[in-house]
Amino acid sequence: MSNQLDSLRQFTTVVADTGDFETMRRHRPTDATTNPSLILKAVGQEENRHLLDKVIADHGSAPVSDLVDQLLVAFGREILGIIPGRVSTEVDARLSFDTQASIERARQIIELYERAGIARERVLIKLASTWEGIQAAKVLQSEGIRCNMTLLFCLPQALACAQAKVQLISPFVGRIYDWHKKAAGAQWDEAANTGAADPGVQSVRRIYDYYKAYDIPTEIMGASFRNIGQIRALAGCDLLTISPDLLNQLSESTEPLERQLDPGSAKRNAPEWLASNEVAFRTELNQDAMATEKLAEGIRAFAADGVKLDAIIAQARQK
C-alpha cells in the first residue's frame, strides 16, 4: 500500500532538510538542503567526525573561514554521493548584508566543489533573502551559479527573487506559523489555523499562485515545517524540504494525500501584478512585522551557529 511520502512524490519533488546521511539513504529524496544549524549538529556526531578531521589534516593552516567552506563542501560531497539531485550549501549568514562578500564566498564554495569533480549544476548556493543577498544572487545566476534564497517570509521578497532570476526560493512555513501563534497568545485557535488556513501555508500559496499565474520559472520549495498537515496542504508545490521526523511520519501514514496546489488554478485566478524594486521591497518588508522580525531572527540564529562552528574548527585545529 502506498504511503503519503510516495503519494507526495507524484507531484512534488521531495527534499531532505537534514545533514543526516542515514535519513537520506532511507527516504531517497531527490535533493537535500543544509544550513549552519544542521551542519553544526551533524559535525558534533561521532560518525561524522572523520570529515572534520580530514579537513583539518588537509588544510589546517588555512584561515578558519576557508576551513568552514571546506567542511561544508565535504558534507555536500557526501550528500551528493547518496542523492541523485542537488545539494544546497549556505553562505555564512554573517555576510547577509554584504553583497560583494557574499558573491566572493559563493564563488569560493563553487570552486571547491568543481575542484572535487562536482558540477556546479548539482549545487545550490543558499543566501538570505535580504536585498543585498538577492542582488548577490542576481550576479551569481548570471555566472551560472544557481542560488537558493532562504529565510523568505513574504511576497515582496519572492518578487525581488523572481526579478533576480534566481533558481529557487525557500519560503518558510513553520516560522510564520510560530510568529502568528505567539502573537495571538491565549486567543490562538489551533483548529482554525490548520491545513489550508495555516498562515504559513497561506503565505507559500500566495507566492505559488503569483509565480504560476505569471509563468515565473523560479522554483518554489516550501520549507520549515512543524507538522505533516502543513506539508499535505502544500502538496503540488514544486519542491518541499522536509525534516527527518516528518519524513518518517509521512512514510508511516497510508491516508490518502491529494494535490492542493495547481498551476492551472493559479492562472485562472491570477493575482494583481505588483511592482518590484528596492524601494518597494524595503517598504513592503518593513510594513510586514512578521517578515521583518523572522528574517532578522533567522539571520542572527544562523550567524550564532556560524560562530559556534568556527570555534569547533579552531579547537580541532589546535589538537
Q: Which residues are catalytic?
A: 126
Give Cα separations from 54 to 72, 80, 151 (angstroms).
12, 18, 31
81: buried, middle or exposed (CB in 10 Å: 19+, 13-18, 0-12)?
Answer: exposed
- The single-letter DSSP state of residue 120 is G
Complete DSSP assignment for 251-284? HH--S-------HHHHHHTPPPP---SHHHHHHH
168-171 vs 147-152, strand pairing mode: parallel
- Distance between CA 138 and CA 187 in Å, rounded? 42
Locus of grid cell 490562538? 188
Instruction: For residue 16, report the phi and psi dihedrals to the nearest 5 degrees.
Output: -90, 125
- Write out the three cell numbers for 208: 505559488
Angle, helices 155-163 vs 131-142, to 10°: value is 30
- Write out the three cell numbers for 174: 513553520
Question: In the chain, what is the straight-line distance between the N-terminal and C-terminal CA atoms, in Å?
Answer: 52
Beta bridge partners of 127: 149
Give Cα separations from 39 to 21, 131, 244, 309 (angstroms).
12, 25, 14, 8
Beta bridge partners of 16: 32, 242
- Write out the three cell numbers for 255: 491516508
Q: Check: CB of residue 181 under 8 Å from CB of residue 230.
A: no
